[in-house]
């Protein structure tokens, strides 16, 4: 039996009573899955997993994503981590030294400090992420999580009805540009490999049946709205969904493993003194299907909102 300590009745729980260095019996994994379906974020202290053990545990949830680093912006270059299946969430280079201020890897990872959900810029996004901490900073560098089910539940019904119809355009380069990364001059090959993708704005979580907002700083616009209306609505939703009452902050300790469900939460890293070392690695599970069908077509901006803009 797992030892589960909820932080709030429905969001974030601490989980003890298992050892991720060993293969989990199916019954124990079922308990982890049930806990994740209910709490959306699980904190597992004292799990000193190596890369292979972390990946093996992640595979219990389904097929894994391949990290973008080795396949795209760091292609062919030596990496700090051995396995290309893991994302390097650190401020260290391949030799273990601090990254320079202008290092591409640092600039790309800075977007992790914006509210987001992992890989929503992929047609089939991430379902579950599993982050393991090797080196932590004493101050700052927390990770915050926001409950998108609670945010959805708190919206007035008329607004819920409107939002349920909407589809958002998620773009990897949009969130990079927001943190100062020069997304204009990236190689064409990157842009072709990472084109903008549509995602539903409201999702139903398969494990709980609960609806949630599906928001991220990767969202560039909402289809069917003109730019001004789209930006205004996105900003309003982002501010609302990240009000303190929906947010939990995790302060890291070495060997913490944190599991979160990207389908119904957002997260962001908090700033820290970058002369300090911070090293984590993430295994990421792929969702089972795109959130909008392959044959979906973008609607034109509505005449109503266009008229409002012309006025
Ligand atoms: C991530 C992420 C934030 C952090 O690993 O996906 O966004 O605090 N991390 O490092
Ligand atoms: Mn992330």
Q: Is 131 in the pocket of ligand 1 (CB under 6 A)?
A: yes
Protein residue whose Cα sits closest to atom 10 of ligand 1: 269
Over residues 42-58, the mean pLDDT reads 98
Over residues 174-198, the mean pLDDT reads 91
Tell how far the Cα of 118 is from the centroid of ligand 2, in angstroms.
5
pLDDT of residue 115: 98
Tell me which of 111, 268, 283 to substitute to probe ligand 1's pocket, judged by most ligand atoms within 8 Å of the beta carbon. 268
Over residues 157-165, the mean pLDDT reads 97
Q: What number does the ligand 1 atom closest to the CA of 129 have?
A: 6
Protein residue whose Cα sits closest to atom 3 of ligand 1: 269
pLDDT of residue 23: 96
| Token pair belonging to 44 | 């597992």
| Token pair belonging to 242 | 């990240």
pLDDT of residue 163: 98
Query: Does pLDDT of 143 surpass 50?
Result: yes
> pLDDT tens across 235-246, in order?
999 999 999 999
pLDDT of residue 69: 74
The residues spanned by each domain of the chain are: 3-310
> pLDDT tens across 8-18, in order?
999 999 999 99
pLDDT of residue 77: 86
pLDDT of residue 180: 87
pLDDT of residue 127: 98
pLDDT of residue 75: 79
> Among all ligands shown, which has an atom nearest to the Cα of 268?
1
Tell me which of 90, 117, 126, 280 to substitute to probe ligand 1's pocket, judged by most ligand atoms within 8 Å of the beta carbon. 280
> Among all ligands shown, which has an atom nearest to the Cα of 271?
1
pLDDT of residue 310: 45
Over residues 28-37, the mean pLDDT reads 98
> pLDDT tens across 92-138, in order?
999 999 999 999 899 999 999 999 999 999 999 999 999 999 999 99
CATH code of the region 3-310: 3.60.130.10
> Among all ligands shown, which has an atom nearest to the Cα of 282?
1
Q: Is 250 in the pocket of ligand 1 (CB under 6 A)?
A: no
pLDDT category at 24 given cuts 50, 70, 90 is very high
């Amino acid at each position: 039996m797992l030892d589960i300590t909820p932080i709030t009745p429905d969001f974030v729980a601490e989980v003890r009573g298992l050892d991720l260095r060993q293969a989990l019996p199916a019954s124990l994994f079922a308990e982890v899955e049930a806990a994740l379906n209910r709490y959306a974020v699980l904190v597992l202290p004292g799990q000193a997993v190596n890369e292979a053990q972390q990946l093996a545990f992640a595979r219990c949830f389904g097929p894994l994503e391949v990290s973008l680093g080795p396949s795209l912006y760091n292609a062919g270059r030596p990496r700090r981590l051995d396995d290309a299946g893991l994302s390097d969430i650190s401020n260290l280079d391949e030799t273990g030294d601090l990254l320079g201020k202008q290092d591409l890897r640092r600039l790309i990872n800075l977007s992790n400090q914006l509210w987001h959900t992992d890989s929503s810029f992929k047609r089939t996004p991430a379902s579950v992420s599993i982050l393991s901490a090797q080196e932590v900073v004493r101050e700052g560098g927390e990770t915050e999580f926001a409950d998108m089910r609670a945010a959805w539940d708190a919206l007035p019904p008329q607004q819920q009805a409107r939002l349920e119809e909407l589809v958002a355009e998620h773009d990897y380069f949009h969130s990079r540009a927001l943190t100062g990364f020069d997304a204009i001059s990236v190689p064409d090959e990157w842009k072709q490999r990472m084109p903008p993708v549509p995602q539903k704005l409201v999702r139903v979580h398969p494990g709980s049946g609960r609806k949630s907002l599906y928001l991220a700083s990767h969202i560039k616009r909402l289809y069917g709205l003109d730019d001004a209306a789209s930006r205004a609505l996105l900003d309003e939703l982002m501010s609302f969904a990240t009000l303190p009452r929906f947010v939990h902050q995790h302060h890291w300790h070495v060997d913490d493993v944190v599991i979160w469900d990207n389908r119904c939460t957002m997260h962001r890293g908090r700033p820290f003194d970058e002369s300090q070392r911070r090293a984590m690695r993430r295994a990421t599970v792929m969702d089972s299907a795109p959130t909008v069908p392959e044959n979906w077509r973008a609607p034109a901006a509505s005449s109503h909102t266009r008229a409002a803009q012309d006025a």
